[in-house]
Amino acid sequence: MKLTLYGDPRTKKNSARILRTRSGTPFVAPSKVYVDYETDCLRQIKKLRSPISARVNVRCVYYMPTRRRVDLVNLLEATCDILVKAGVLEDDHCRIVAGHDGSRVEYDKENPRAEIWIEEMEDEP
Q: Average pLDDT in the 19-39 region?
A: 92
The one-letter amino acid at 105:
V
pLDDT surpasses 80 at 124 = no
pLDDT value at residue 29: 87
pLDDT in tens, 54-108: 999 999 999 999 999 999 999 999 999 999 999 999 999 999 999 999 999 999 9
pLDDT value at residue 70: 93
**In the chain, how many H helices and how many E strands?**
2, 7
Contact 9, 75 (CB under 8 A): yes
Strand (E) or helix (H) holding 1: none
* Portion of the chain with pLDDT greater than 90, in percent: 82
pLDDT value at residue 52: 93
Determine how β-strand 97-99 pairs with β-strand 113-120. unpaired
What pTM value is reported for the model? 0.89
Rounded Cα–Cα distance for residues 90 and 99 (Å)? 15
User: Taking all residues of the chain, what is their mean pLDDT, rounded to a whole number?
Assistant: 93
Strand (E) or helix (H) holding 74: helix 72-85
pLDDT surpasses 80 at 125 = no
